[in-house]
Amino acid sequence: MTTARDGRERTPAAGPGDAAGLGPRRPRSPDHRPPWLILLSSLTLLYGGALLISSLETLRDPRAVTHLPVTRAMTPDEDEIAHQIGDVAARVATAHARSIRGNAVLSLPVSLLMLFAAAATMSRDRRGRQIALAAAWAGIIYQVGTFALTYPILRDYAGQAAPLFARFVALHADGDANATPAGVAKFMMAVPLFTSAIAISGSLVLIRYFGGRRGRVLYGLERERR
């Protein structure tokens, strides 16, 4: 009499491959969640959610990516500069509207894949390893592609807005007196590079863990070393 097996049940090892110490050849669903799996799944969930929200906001308003964050009431001089920065953002967003919206559209499937990967790994789906690796490689390709796509936008925005930001900083007594337009422009260009490097590093960590020995042992592709 044959009984149906639960998808999460451990697959018994059999055949010459197991005798040679290679372990099961078919991936199985993990029977536990190690701390690294919980941490990486949570970070993937946060990144995918943030990317999804950012993409939807950009599709609704392409100028959202260039808005000046304001956390306090501004003086009349600061308010005037902020309006000028807003005008620059509007011009740049209008000139590059197609690229901005195109990048937001490309972000949507990547964000959904990240969310799917987090759900698959946290739910101990037997395909979680493959989905996580696919999401990690997609994240790397996305970061490289999105920087190439948005570089002209960042260059135009930094070139036009940097003098205004330098004036904005100079209005404060505790501001950086050396904040020149050229220095501010370099900083504005470096921030996206830094965030892309962090995102790529996160994807490489996913690949290392899920694609390496820890992932292979967890999903039954390799025996744990004693």
Helices (H), ranges, 171-212? 181-211
Residue 71 has pLDDT above 60, yes or no: no
Model's pTM, two decimal places? 0.77
- 157-162: long-range contacts (C-beta < 8 A, 24 or more apart)? 157/66, 157/88, 157/89, 157/92, 157/188, 158/184, 158/185, 158/188, 158/189, 159/185, 160/88, 160/91, 160/92, 161/66, 161/85, 161/88, 161/89, 161/188, 162/188
Q: Do the beta carbons of residue 93 and residue 62 sit within 8 Å? A: yes
pLDDT at 41 over 90: yes
Q: Residue 17: pLDDT band by 50, 70, 90 thresholds?
A: very low
Alpha-carbon distance of 105 to 109, in angstroms, equals: 8
For the ranges 128-132, 178-182, 200-204, which has the lowest average pLDDT? 178-182
